[in-house]
Amino acid sequence: MIKVIKTGLLYVFAVALAIGIVMVVNFADRYQIKPKEVYKVYLDGKSIGNINDKEELEKYINDEQKELKEKYLVDKVYIPTGVDIQKCTTYEKQVLTAKQVHNLIKEEKPFTVKGYKITIKPSDENEEKITINVLDKEMFDRALRSVVEAFVSSEQVKNYENDTQPEIKDTGSIIEEIYINQDITIKQGYISTDEQIFTDEKLLTKFLLFGDLDEDEYYTVKEGDTIDSIAYDHKLATAEFLVVNPEFTSANNLLSVGQQVKVGLIAPIVDVVVESHTVLDQESQYKTTTEYDPSMNAGTQTVVVEGQNGIDRLTTKLKTVNGETTNVVIVSTEVITPSVDKVVKVGTKVYGGSRAPIMSGSWAWPTIAQYYISSYFGYRWGKVHEALDIAGSGEGSPIFAAGAGTVVTSQNKGSLGNHITIKHDNGYYTLYAHMSSRLVSVGQTVEKGQQIGTMGHTGFATGTHLHFGLYYNGMPYRDGTPMDPMILYR
Ligand SMILES: [Zn+2]
């Protein structure tokens, strides 16, 4: 028992002694009385730390400057302003290495180079503005021009600038204006080397056009590929494929097996707006007239005259944004070849009280005759545009039901704005969107060619047009299969 206590006491004593030694060591350390000669480094009057070697810090700063000069190919790199090094005598124990102090300065204030800060204010106020740093203003101008030339050929831009655009003989286009839709401000100043600084024109062009600097997406051409098929397989319209691959001038250009083509989607940071005076030929849709013949059996019909599409020459004012038509005004129309109406004779003779359906003939065009198709059914930068965009007949012009049927939707909602869906007997549904007014309501039956509304730009529409959709066996944007509305008129 006693032995145990003795051992315990001895242990306590040993621990106490150890603590005492530690306290003595600490005591001596805290009350060091020998002052030290150090360099105190200040940044904007605030002490950053002490160093022993002033020259070593200066060497770090010089090396950093040299490295940045080489990186950006500039004569001058500016060290952070407000750095001050003063010799002093201190009792403070802590001395940092020159490298530590150099890093602390860099964290607080970056090295800078003289350059330009370019601010691009988006046209949509909800989007954040984008800043781009460059050292050379002309380089930015050249990159911006390359973006413009993705949508307008360099020859067209040159002719526009030099006022040497060829006159329109029959059909063609004269550019009236090219501009960027965003506010771009350029300010000279000191650019932090911590931020991205564009020194490569190609890289900047890519950033302006694709909205990022991700790796390019390539496709290797295989036997049997065409520009149309590759574009379609990668959810691009053919025109979009040509934007991404400016070395091709048309969809008819030949491809060679093994050739690499770009298939990435662009998302331009700027909107290139082109306003033009354009004269173009467009097929005019023939109409079908039905004659009823009581001497023919019901359910039978014969074509008396075959319909033939004509050609209209439209003089228009077109506005395109990044290659897509957003506004169309038809100034005048000239009939080059008149269309020939199709005449169908339909029998109405009924036997023994059975009723056979009266054929409705073909489909009616949903707008008045002067129109311009600003966007066809197909891919637009990765998404299917499930409709025909028909423009040119103007705000408030009548919209007609393409066929007889029942109105199943009539509302002003979402991106489609004022829209109507008609269910037809043969499994088809037609959709009419962005209208300025609706004249029919749900449950109502409509005749083919009956006016159901007026053209407008409600919902998500950049210009006045009819978004005309065709669906099979189900509702638009739900269970229906989207189909090209042009099939109704072929
Ligand atoms: Zn549309």
DSSP state string for 55-111: HHHHHHHHHHHHHHHHHHT-S--BPPTTEEEEEEEE-------HHHHHHHHHHHS--
Do 389 and 465 touch, CB atoms closer than 8 A?
yes
Q: How many Å apart are CA 364 and CA 169, to the nearest integer? A: 33
pLDDT of res. 90:
80
Mean pLDDT to the nearest integer, 383-407: 92
Q: What is the mean pLDDT of residues 352-380?
A: 70
Q: What is the pLDDT, as a whole number, of residue 238?
A: 86
pLDDT at 33 over 90: no
* Beta partners for residue 254, in sequence order: none
Q: What is the pLDDT of residue 413?
A: 92
Distance 330 CA to ligand 1 centre (A): 19
Determine the distance separating the centroid of ligand 1 and the alpha carbon of 428, expressed in angstroms.
19
> Which position has the higher pLDDT, 34 or 226?
226
Task: Using the mean position of ligand 1's atoms as its centre, give its distance from the Cα of residue 461 in Å.
Answer: 8
How far apart, in Å, are the Cα atoms of 2 and each of 5, 6, 7, 63, 133?
Answer: 5, 6, 9, 72, 83
pLDDT at 298: 64
Most confident range, picked from 19-23, 63-67, 339-343: 63-67
What are 450-486's pLDDT values in tens digits? 999 999 999 998 889 999 999 988 899 888 888 888 8
The token duo for 5 is: 């206590």
* Cα–ligand 1 centroid distance for 120 (angstroms): 28
Any idea which of 5-9, 83-87, 306-310, 437-441 has the lowest mean pLDDT? 5-9
Residue 290 has pLDDT above 80, yes or no: no
Distance from residue 119's CA to the centre of ligand 1 (Å): 32
- Which token pair is 430? 């037609």
What is the distance in A from the centroid of ligand 1 to the CA of 107? 51
From the CA of 141, how far away is ligand 1's center (Å)?
33
26 pLDDT more than 90: no
> Which SS3 state, helix, strand or coil, does residue 386 take?
coil
Q: Which residues contact 439 (CB under 8 A, 6 or more apart)?
A: 451, 452, 453, 454
Distance 393 CA to ligand 1 centre (A): 15
| 476 CA to centre of ligand 1 in angstroms | 13
Task: Please give all residues whose CB falls under 5 A of ion ligand 1, grouped by chain where several chains appear.
Answer: 387, 389, 467
Average the pLDDT over 25-52 and give the result. Answer: 77
Contact 259, 221 (CB under 8 A): yes
Residue 353 has a pLDDT of 39
Reported as a single tens digit per residue, the pLDDT across 101-156 is: 999 998 889 999 999 999 999 877 788 899 999 999 999 999 999 999 888 888 99
Using the mean position of ligand 1's atoms as its centre, give its distance from the Cα of residue 410 in Å.
18
- What separation in Å is there between the alpha carbon of 385 and the centre of ligand 1? 6
Distance 469 CA to ligand 1 centre (A): 8
Using 50, 70 and 90 to split pLDDT, how confident is the model at 310?
A: very high
What are the structural domains of the chain?
A: 36-109 (no CATH), 271-357 (2.20.230.10), 363-490 (2.70.70.10)
Report whether pLDDT(489) > 70: yes
Is residue 252 predicted with pLDDT exceeding 80?
yes
What type of residue sits at position 407? V
Look at residues 468, 401, 408 and name the one whose alpha carbon lies nearest to residue 444: 408
**Average pLDDT, stretch 332-338?**
93
Which has more confidence, 162 or 288?
A: 162
Question: DSSP states of 175-238 as a string?
Answer: EEEEEESSEEEEEEEEEETTS-EE--HHHHHHHHHHSS-PPPPEEE--TT--HHHHHHHTT--H
CA of 124 to the centre of ligand 1 (A): 20
pLDDT over 70 percentage in the chain: 90
141 compared with 12, residue with greater pLDDT: 141
When pLDDT is cut at 50, 70 and 90, the band that residue 344 belongs to is confident
The full DSSP string for 295-341 is: EEETT-EEEEE--B-EEEEEEEEEEEETTEEEEEEEEEEEEEE--B-
pLDDT at 299: 65
Residue range 376-399: mean pLDDT, rounded? 89
**Residue 31 DSSP class:** T
Question: How much distance in Å is there from the Cα of 53 to the middle of ligand 1?
Answer: 70
Which residue reads 């909800």 in tokens?
126
Q: What is the pLDDT of residue 148?
A: 93
CA–centroid distance, residue 278 to ligand 1 (Å) = 21
The answer to whether the CB of 57 falls within 8 A of the CB of 96 is no
Would you say residue 61 has pLDDT above 60?
A: yes
Weakest-pLDDT range from 41-45, 283-287, 293-297: 293-297
Least confident of 72-76, 122-126, 155-159: 122-126
Residues 442, 409: contact at Cβ < 8 Å?
yes
Residue 213 has a pLDDT of 76
What is the whole-number distance in angstroms between the Cα of residue 378 and the centre of ligand 1?
10
pLDDT bracket for residue 9 (50, 70, 90) = low
Q: Are the C-beta atoms of 466 and 432 separated by less than 8 Å? A: yes
Distance 468 CA to ligand 1 centre (A): 7
For 96-119, the DSSP string reads: --HHHHHHHHHHHS--EEEEEEEE
Q: Beta-carbon neighbour count of residue 311 at 10 Å?
A: 14
Question: What is the arithmetic mean of pLDDT over 239-243?
Answer: 85
| Whole-number Cα distances in Å, 9 to 6, 16, 226 | 5, 11, 95
Position 293, amino acid: D
> Sheet harboring 183-192: ordered strands across?
183-192, 112-121, 130-134, 197-198
**Looking at residues 293-319, what average pLDDT do you find?**
86
More confident residue, 19 or 273: 273
What pLDDT is recorded for position 11?
Answer: 59
Mean of all residue pLDDT scores within the chain: 86
**Contact at 8 Å (CB) between 485 and 476?**
no
Cα(307) to ligand 1 centroid in Å equals 28
Phi and psi angles of residue 63, each rounded to the nearest 5 degrees, phi first: -65, -40
Separation of 127 CA from ligand 1 center, angstroms? 23
Query: Over 50: is that where the pLDDT of 352 sits?
Result: no
pLDDT at residue number 427: 86
Distance 396 CA to ligand 1 centre (A): 17
Asked if 454 and 434 count as a contact pair (C-beta separation under 8 A), the reply is no
Residue 300 Cα to ligand 1 midpoint, Å, equals 37
- pLDDT for 247: 84
Q: What is the pLDDT of residue 7?
A: 55
How confident is the model at residue 361, as a pLDDT?
53
CA of 466 to the centre of ligand 1 (A): 7
